[in-house]
Amino acid sequence: MMDIGEIKLLRASVATYNRVVFQHPEDGTRMLALERKASVMKDGSVSVQAQPYGGGVHILNPTPLKKIIGEIQYDSERSKHEQDFRILIPPSKWEMIKEYCMRHLEEEDDIELETEPDRELTEEFFETINVRLNMGQYTVRPLGFVIENRPVRTKNDHATGQLTVHLYRVFEIDIVDPVLCKIMLAVSQLYSDSDLGGRAQQDLDYYGKGRSNTILALPLNQVVEAYLSLPPEERYRKLVVDDHELDESVLVLLENVDVPQYQRL
């Protein structure tokens, strides 16, 4: 794996990831909810995988950040338009950026960075289960930070292949509305991965995008045990649980599953 000092320009991605959990309506099992996404690839194949709810942190006031790195260079026009913290930096600035982000992301109503998970969570729940989430339906608990200092090549559609380091602000979102819990479980069981792939193909045919998404609910202990069954050095990879492929980013949510690639704070 390439050393950070050998890279001239590094992509820094700062995001919020949410461990969305709820009780199974029938047996009380603690369930983990993930966003399940299907995409038609350039070669015509269909990829279906599950990943955490969450997304890029918005930069609300770029002026203080500019004092650290100079003019902000976003990784794509989309990131620039949305003010997402997905930027290109000299590798020497990564330590300063981590310190800056952790200091501000711990504040509830920070004026420089978006610090709460609610906006992204609300948007993604509407996309995946067509429900307009309200704050009375869930509780929020900060779980800390996860840092990935070793550069990896991003799979982000708008910056594919760029060497990237990550900082994640992690929250636990506990869904407490029993009706919503039933909806989440029902929607999860409604579509197989094959069904979702078919919907992505239809989306490509009609709209030219080739994407579809829904929710996936799995027992949290089952996911944790699947990763713990592997040696630590083999855990950072996609993993199939109950016939569903989980992206390696799911590991960010599992604080009791150690991997060499992640520093948990």
How confident is the model over 52-97, as pLDDT tens digits? Answer: 999 999 999 999 999 999 999 998 899 999 999 999 999 999 999 9
Is the separation of the CB atoms in 207 and 234 below 8 Å? Answer: no
Distance of CA 157 to the CA centre of its chain: 14
Query: How confident is the model at residue 90, as a pLDDT?
Result: 92
Query: How confident is the model at residue 134, as a pLDDT?
Result: 93
Query: How confident is the model at residue 41, as a pLDDT?
Result: 85
Query: How confident is the model at residue 9, as a pLDDT?
Result: 85
Return d(Cα 33, Cα 31) in angstroms, integer: 6
Return d(Cα 86, Cα 166) in angstroms, integer: 9
Considering the chain, what is the average pLDDT of its residues?
Answer: 92
Using a cut of 0.85, tell me whether the model's pTM lies above it: yes
Query: How confident is the model at residue 1, as a pLDDT?
Result: 47
Low-confidence ranges of the chain (pLDDT < 70): 1-7, 156-160
Token pair 């990763």: residue: 227
E strands of the chain, at which residues? 10-23, 30-40, 46-51, 53-56, 73-74, 86-89, 138-153, 163-175, 211-219, 239-241, 244-246, 263-264
Q: Where are the domains of the chain?
A: 4-252
